[in-house]
Amino acid sequence: MGDTPRVTLRLPNGETLELDVETARLGQDVIAIAPLLQHDVFAYDPGFLATASCQSAITYIDGEAGVLLHRGYPIEELAEHCSYLSVSYLLMHGELPDQARLDTYVDDILQRTPVRDNLKRIVQSFPQDAHPMSILGAALYGMAGLYHSEIDIQDETTRYHIACQMIAKMPTLVALCHRHNLGQELIEPQPEFGYVENFLYMLSGERPDPKLAEAVDKLLILHADHEQNASTATVRVCASSDTNPFAALASGIGSLWGPAHGGANEAVLNMLEEIGSVDSIEEYIERAADSSDPFRLMGFGHRVYKNFDPRALIIRGRCEEMLAMTGQADNGLFQLALRLAEIARQNDYFIERNLYPNVDFYSGIIMSALNLPKTMFPLIFALGRCAGWLSHWNEMIVQGYRISRPRQLYVGQERRSVPAQVGQPKRI
């Protein structure tokens, strides 16, 4: 191997500093800027648009080409040939499992799907109209309380059992949140059902169509991981303090809840309902292109993808299949979404900016086909993304890490003295 490539940087004081360039196997190389600290200089990158915060071997995205790889496997092939649990194993362990390993892994998960009464009481303690993401986050903190003293995150076997525990209980907790919001009796998981079948059964109390379960399984695969997105980065930052892993995942729930992240599919559905009909599409597209109009077309474009989102192409087909099998082939919102995407892609504003529909554009329609309220959409996202969060947490522990501590560009007041006369509270 040759010498490590380097770049020369001129510092504000006029000195020069040579920085190593770390070479990526795929994608962008990075400049190792840690030596800046020795010269009392920080890098400034609001939103972390050009900052690599870690090394990872889990997921690779080429936003220009519309490529998404998990451990080297294209998302299209994983969605076609694998189950969600086999993909979660891949993310965590680096290789797809053979049949024996998969059978053991599935058994380890399915036997852990029931939750303790303590967690049920946490769910039931919330008002019936509470947002289910707040309930789910509290339930994960409840798990941190139940599974705390016995956790040794440096032990590989313990981390495996933590991952199985979380992946197993997430569908049960999501279903508990849903049933509680409806004011209905909580439904226990059934040992004879598979992972997704059990989830759908706990939502409705009815044995699901296997084809419907397969479609939801693919939806979870498409949400399983997406590199250093906001919620995954949040989990990593939180876990870097050596916190309880269930608490770290709860922090991911908080980040995912936002409408710019896990709540985006709900925003898409609201947008489609506002547009209302195909006849109004042109008007709303003109509004979206008008910078003075606050209206925006939700579900178009992506921070990373500057071309099409490969997950959107897959989920569009799955959406058609699910609507057909649930007797909703003529679903008005889906037909409106298809026509909106077609017309938008012929508009100069969207063509010039390479704005394509992303995964959120169609996922909300799939979830509404399951008769789920919009508030439940980010919980389904969290159910799928749980595998990615756990994989990044595990990778961080294996690699070794330091507590995350971003720095800042301070723009406030210079040092000053407290005035002699300052108001005092009447009571202390």
Q: How far is CA 264 from CA 75, 93, 121, 301, 413, in A?
A: 21, 30, 30, 12, 38
Catalytic residue among 93, 131, 161, 261: 261
How far apart CA 141 and CA 346 sit, in angstroms, is 47
Is position 360 annotated as part of the catalytic site? yes
Task: Supply angle C-alpha 48, 53, 54, rounded to 5.
Answer: 155
How far apart CA 349 and CA 301 sit, in angstroms, is 12
3-state SS, residue 23: coil
Q: How far is CA 56 from CA 85, 168, 395, 398, 406, in A?
A: 21, 25, 7, 11, 19
Catalytic residue among 178, 225, 360, 392: 360
How far apart CA 425 and CA 428 sit, in angstroms, is 7
Around Cβ 339, how many Cβ atoms within 10 Å? 14
DSSP string, 301-346: --SS-SS--HHHHHHHHHHHHHHHHTT-TT-HHHHHHHHHHHHHTT
Q: What is the dihedral of CA 156, 161, 163, 169, to 10 degrees?
A: -170
Is position 302 annotated as part of the catalytic site? yes
Roughly how many angstroms between the first and final C-alpha of the chain, as a whole number? 68
How far apart CA 142 and CA 121 sit, in angstroms, is 10
Is position 70 annotated as part of the catalytic site? no
Are 378 and 133 spatial neighbours (Cβ–Cβ below 8 Å)? yes
How far apart CA 236 and CA 394 sit, in angstroms, is 10
How far apart CA 212 and CA 148 sit, in angstroms, is 37
Catalytic residue among 302, 309, 330, 392: 302
The residues that are catalytic are 261, 302, 360
